[in-house]
Structure 1
Amino acid sequence: MAIAKMQKFSLLTFYDQKEAVLEQLQDFQGVELLSSEKYYDSEETTGVLAPVREEQSEEEMENQFGQVNWSLNFLEEYVPKKGMLAQLRQPIKKYTLQELAETAHTYPWQELCQTLRKQDKRLRLIDQEKRDVLAQEAELSIWKYFKERPAVLKELKKSGGMLGSIPTSEMADFTTNSEKLPLVYVETIYQSQTTTYLLVLFHKDVKEKVTTLLKKAAFEQYIYPYEGIPEEDLQTMKEKSQRLIDEEKEIKAALRAMTNEQETLRIVAEYLDGAITRLKSNKMLLRSTHAVSISGWVPVDGAAELEKRIKKGTTDNYYLEYQEVTEKEIADVPILLENARWIKPFEGLVRMYSLPQYDELDPTPFMAPFYMVAFGMMVADFGYGLLLFLATFLGKKLFHLSKGLEQNLTLFQLCSIPTIIWGLIYGNFFGFEFSFQLLSAQDDVNQILVLSVIFGYIQIMFGLALKFYILWKKKDQKLAAMFQAGSWIVFLISVVFVAAGMLLFPDT
């Protein structure tokens, strides 16, 4: 129940083994690299060690990761998602870095990404074509009642003909005036409440009069864009629309079936993300012509595993040195909390605020009991507490949970116990009251208030005592311990004595 003891390591090995070593360290997940330049004298390393420069750029790797990530997001729209319960009941697959690398290097994910790009482009084109066809169908559905080829109107020699529309409100006047002109034929093709669609035929001798009449009636000429009969062209458009729909369904069905491809792309994305991390770590390394320097932090308990990983990556061709944490490095040491199984779930609450420094105390085991008691006092219902305990217990037994989710369930499971206890004290069961109660929320308000104040007082005093201890341990912080924590402790104790005196001796 403390902060894990850390130590600094410095590794020298051959440069051609660098990638293998970094892969082993990344797979180990127990070290944090730091800049080697800080731990080598600059005068000694001048001309000997220099920052690592990689042939493969970080930008190139990030572009590849972006392609895979785009493909995953694209497939998410089509591959059926499993229900929450089905996902929780499915075992969580774990891969080593070597397995990730093998998949990324053998699977043709670049071709798959290109194929998905093409399918996305084709789906977008199909969507646009469908909208265009739909608009054309709407036009043709109006002119389908014209049973001749509109192109015939262009072939007339002594006569003229036009298709077009006028407002329905102008139709009566237009019909009356057109009947007064000789050699003019008007036929209504389709009529709606607002617009009337017409065929107008006329002899060329009266073309100017007809043109004037049409302009007065707000006539808009329609240029038919096809060569066939409107009804047949409409059928052709419907067939084209159906072909587009069928093609779209076929593409989407193929995408929905890419469950395995989606899983493989996730593995590739995981590998590329790790590769980017390794490329970024190159900025922390120094190299000579044939050697590379790697420095970092590792828990003391993880030193054996670290050496095992290094041996595996270097085949025993390395030099490894450990150094204790110095006082000036305390602020830079990464913090790893080590707590017992039932205390570990509360570490997340500590991280929500801030982790302690390396030379401070881990507050998790001290905070956990207060948090549990406070949680139980706030809910204080036997039924809810029992339901919470059973739900978390069954969830951990029946489902395959990630480490973080399992710890969250454990946190609520632990908090359900004081909820049950306080529920019995208050005599509450799903809002109903037992026949027996140690405290009543309605009748014992003053006692509950006093109990809450006492609980808060104890918690504050405990926190001040911890602060006093942490400051007192530091050589130059003893005065701060006295004034920042000690003075408050004395004051709060004095308040208790004063209050007790007023209660015990009210007349003095």
Structure 2
Amino acid sequence: IIPAEAKTFLSSILKKEAIHVQILDEVARKVYILFIFLKEERAKVENLFQSLRGEKIKLKEDLVPSVRIKEIKDRIKQIKKEREDLLEKAEKLNQEKVKLMAIYDYFYELLKERKVNSHSHLSRYTFILEGWIKEEDIPTLKNVLSDFSRVEIIVKKPTKKEEAKAPVALSNRRLFKPFELVTELYGLPRYIEIDPTPFLAPFFALFLALCLTDGGYGITLVLLSYIIPKKFQVGEGGKKLFSMLFISGLLTIVIGIITGGIFGIEIQQLPAFLNPIKKLAIINPMKEPMIFLVIALGVGVIHLLTGITLELKDNLQRGRVSSAILDQLSWIVLIIGLLLVGIPFVKGFISGGTTSSSGMGSQIPLTLSPSQLLPIWKKLPVYSRIGTVMVIAGGLVLFLFSGRRSKKIGMRLAKGAYELYGVIQLFADVLSYSRLLAMGLATSVIATVVNIIAGMAGGIPVLGPIAMIFILILGHLGNIMINTLSGFIHTARLQFVEFFGKFYEGGGKKFEPLRREGKYTIIIK
């Protein structure tokens, strides 16, 4: 063992000596090394070791190397034999795999029966069984039990205390049902919460479509999402996933036509028989990224407003009228007001010129005196004036009433100021939707690059056409898979952080009805 600081000195000396050194490990400023040298070099190595302030470690070994090596080789042979025996046993067990799966499901059913028994009560004359049932299944249950003359059924809604333990079963229309997967990934709603699935579904599909922005990719996604569940066993979750991608793919086709992209080719370059479709191309994200950014941020604002509105609705349903008006409604008024005030500036941002036809945006100085406010106010469009009033009204309500539960006036005002500071967080939330622009541009750029490389490869003699087809297929399929995965992740992030953060908590318990539902087996009567 030598000190770590002696390592460099040792390396410089060994360049001139016929001594081999193997560094074994470095721990806590200590370097563990192995010296290998000729017998006649022993004195020189001893002197070198002393100059390095090294510490020798004596290895306890009662066997000569040849015997020890033989033992190691014998152990290796033994391990190989054990491995072969294990593989042989595994092959035999694999032949019993179907039986083992059936046994697993059998004992799983027994486990569920034991759990049910824990909710039952047995006395000398009666047997009582408690449980949860979907409201729409109550008539069926009563009808089944009506055949038993000595059975009594009592159905009641859960109390406030029981609501915290009540399980949840999502029930949505066929169009929205695939998007339950997103809700389940985050966490089921509690019994008293709103199911966010039907509200997130259109936004999720739209955001994923904006991430792809290519009609050809949308067609491919639709075909793959339809074929894969038909050809392979994907399970219940897989069916939801591919149904969700199928819907998103359809919307991607629409977005792709609007943005004028088909497999990285501008729609205007396509054959003449597609002229009716060419007229639908409104914007080109590659040439007009600012317009696409405004669209992404605009959709984001609508997304956030939807979340706040759902919280308002939830408070009204629970009888919290003051919270609905003073908290959520005031934020809605403030946000809409900011939008109305910002419209002239957005127009200027897109055009790259002044913020309005009168050029009032470019004339706003950095510092304003009271005498300058009136002329600027007069130049504002009517809707921006209304927006200004809404911003002031919403801001005042938030400032004065956000801390209404505090008894001290100073604490109320402090909480109100902190709530107004949330406007900064609001802008940060809106800017998060710029990732849709980034993903859309990335997909378009990669698709274009694939086409360019394929075109260059096509010029190669003899093998050129084959190479071009190979590059086009692999390149576009890879682009679809990578950006669909990335788009899914970023879209889910916008739902979980920005959208759910406005109204949703989750943490509900899944409703699991008592029924025979094997993991590996299906019972056919």
TM-score, length-scaled by structure 2: 0.46
| Structure with greater strand share of residues | 1
TM-score, length-scaled by structure 1: 0.47
